[in-house]
Amino acid sequence: MPLPFKLVYSDDYYLPIGAHVFPAQKYRLIHKRLLESGIAARPDFITPKPAQDEDILRVHTREYVQKLKMGTLSVQEEMQMEVPYSPELVKAFWLAAGGSILAAEWALREGAACNVGGGFHHAFPDHGEGFCVIHDVAVAIKRMHQDGKLTRAMTVDCDVHDGNGTAAIFPPQGKTRIGQPLPSAGASQRDIHAAQEAPHKNGSDPLEVFTISLHQAHNYPAYKPPSSIDVNLPDGTNDDEYLGWLDQSLSSALRHFEPELLCYIAGADPYKEDQLGGLALTIEGLKKRDELVLKVARARNIPVMITYAGGYARRVEDTVTIHCNTILAAKEIFARTSEVQ
């Protein structure tokens, strides 16, 4: 049985960054594991092309793109990126962005698709940071808007780190932004802000993007620009607490906003064994997280595009397992085509 959705992948997703806490080999390992475990077969994969410069320029400034292409970043800018610059690195990020464009197209066509890469949510319009050079998800959303395929998108960012680039690119807009805590027991230590977008207006059809970020409060980045919904989780948040917050965030968001595409940024780093994270989710809990996001989307017939973002488990095998489980969860949920939701 083929997967009920496409997996977008290239061996060239590998990032040429040498010995690094970011396991650049994870993409190839995930691809291998998906095939060996029987979760996916070769025909499930489609190969992306690099994004075009005009796609990148809808999100990033001309000056920044020029610096990347010419190799003229300052030392400071390269340090902020936290990955060593090379022309090959730039190529890999253009390809990841092309992969997210392709995944968005297939998600809109078939209900779901996964870019076995991407999720570079710390990239800003005018600079890269936190291992992220190009914001592939934003590039994909803006391209889909450009192509007339959507006007309302939602990002659901479950990486342990705040989606600061996403929030900077798509700042919450509209008069309905509310800065009050969402109702929840035990919310005292948690700072949750919700903003709601104005209902979609007919006429000029501007792009509206509702952004959700669940992240560890005491972690990178120091400055967290506001998302539509931010959930600042305390250190050591466990499976049940996390799932409760996620459920509540999704319910609240979808009460206010009906997206035509949900971009799920499925970071593997809320895992308790992560080297750059301080939450306490288990591998099982992370799969439940995936199931929750995907079930909500499936039940409402919202197409879902999945990207991977970070994952720095002490054992790279665990990061691979967590990322493969996201595909497994999607396979289980989207295979039930005849089921009444």
Q: Which residues bind Zn ion (CB under 5 A)?
A: 159, 161, 267, 269, 310
Instruction: Give the nearest distance from C-beta 267 to Zn ion in angstroms.
Output: 5
> Who's near 111: CB < 8 A, 6+ residues apart?
4, 5, 298, 301, 303, 304, 334
Nearest residue to 195 (alpha-carbon basis) of 180, 173, 178:
178
DSSP assignments along 84-114, one per residue: ---HHHHHHHHHHHHHHHHHHHHHHHHSEEE
Nearer to Zn ion, 44 or 159 (CB): 159
Nearer to Zn ion, 133 or 254 (CB): 133
Cα 221 to its chain centre, rounded Å, is 16
Residue nearest to Zn ion as judged by C-beta position: 310
Instruction: Give the nearest distance from C-beta 324 to Zn ion in angstroms.
Output: 18
Nearer to Zn ion, 33 or 161 (CB): 161
Q: What does residue 195 show for φ and ψ, rounded to 5 degrees?
A: -130, 140
Nearer to Zn ion, 6 or 135 (CB): 135
Q: Which two tokens stand for residue 142?
A: 């803006």
Nearer to Zn ion, 269 or 290 (CB): 269
Instruction: Give the nearest distance from C-beta 151 to Zn ion in angstroms.
Output: 29
Nearer to Zn ion, 251 or 275 (CB): 275
Instruction: Give the nearest distance from C-beta 39 to Zn ion in angstroms.
Output: 23
Instruction: Give the nearest distance from C-beta 181 to Zn ion in angstroms.
Output: 25
Distance, in Å, from the CA atom of 94 to the CA atom of 88, rounded to the nearest integer, reads 10
Instruction: Give the nearest distance from C-beta 21 to Zn ion in angstroms.
Output: 11
In the three-class reduction of DSSP (H, G, I as helix; E, B as strand; rest coil), residue 316 is classed as helix
Instruction: Give the nearest distance from C-beta 214 to Zn ion in angstroms.
Output: 12
Q: What angle do CA 98, 196, 307 make, to 5 degrees?
A: 25
State the number of CA atoms in the 13 A half-sphere of 336 facing the CB: 13
Nearer to Zn ion, 159 or 291 (CB): 159
In the three-class reduction of DSSP (H, G, I as helix; E, B as strand; rest coil), residue 121 is classed as coil
DSSP assignments along 208-233, one per residue: EEEEEEEEESSSS-SS----SEEEEE
